[in-house]
Amino acid sequence: MSDAQAFMRRAIELSRDNVKRGGGPFGAVIVKDGRIVGEGANRVTASNDPTAHAEVTAIRDACTRLGTFDLSGAEIYTSCEPCPMCLAAIYWARLDRIHFANTKVDAAEIEFDDQFIYQEFAREPERRRIPMRQMLREEALAAFRDWQASATKIRY
C-alpha cells in the first residue's frame, strides 16, 4: 500500500467514524513532508457551524499545528470532491494538490448537492437567490487604504 493510499484511507476512516457519531460522511487530512499535519471531519451539526466542513476543519487544524496560514508544500486528501466553499479555502490555504475519493455526483445522490451554488456564482449579484447590494463603498475603501499604507501588514 502506498503512502497516498494510506492517507486517503485515513480520510475515509474519519468520514466513517463521523457518521457513527451522527455527523456528515466527510473526512480530510492535510499531509506535508510525508506526514499528516492536520485532520478534520464534518462538524457542521456538531458545532452549529455551516463552514465546519471536513476540508475546512483539516485546514484549521494544520494551520494551528504548523503556526501558519500558508500551507504551501502540503496536500489534502479528502473523502469527497470539495464543495465550492472548501475548494476556495484550499486555494486560500495554498495547498499544492487535492486528492479525493467520492465525487460531487456521488454526494448529490445522497442529498449533498452543491450544483445550485455553482449556478448562483454564474448569475449577476443582484439576480441571485440571496440578493446582493453594494453600499458605502467610498467609506469602506478607507480600510483598504489603511491596510495598503500599513508598515505592519502581513501579506497573504
pLDDT digits (tens, 9 = 90+) for 117-146: 989 989 988 888 998 888 999 999 999 999
**pLDDT score of 107:** 94
- Of the pLDDT bands very low, low, confident and very high (cuts 50, 70, 90), residue 154 is confident
41 phi/psi in degrees, rounded to 5: -130, 160
Q: Choosing from 13, 39, 55, 81, which is the catalytic residue?
A: 55
User: Please, which pLDDT band fits residue 1 given cuts at 50, 70 and 90?
Assistant: low
Cell triple for residue 49? 457551524
Q: Calculate what percentage of the chain has a pLDDT beyond 90.
A: 83
The predicted pLDDT at position 127 comes to 87
3-state helix, strand, coil in the chain (%, to 5): 50, 15, 35
Does residue 46 have a pLDDT over 70? yes
Q: With 70 as the cut, is the pLDDT of residue 32 above it?
A: yes
Q: What was the pLDDT predicted at 135?
A: 92
Q: Which of 105, 111, 68, 78 is nearest to 11 (CA)?
A: 78
Calculate mean pLDDT across residues 33-62. 97
The torsion of the CA quartet 72, 52, 6, 95, rounded to 10 degrees, works out to -10
Whether residue 68 is predicted with pLDDT greater than 70 in this model: the reply is: yes
Burial of 38 (0-12, 13-18, 19+ CB in 10 A): buried
* 95 close to 74: Cβ distance less than 8 angstroms: yes
In the structure, what pLDDT confidence band is assigned to residue 155 with cuts at 50, 70 and 90?
A: confident
**Segment 78-117, tens digit of pLDDT:** 999 999 999 999 999 999 999 999 999 999 999 998 889 9
Q: What is the mean pLDDT of the chain?
A: 95
**Annotation marks residue 81 as catalytic:** no
pLDDT of residue 133: 83
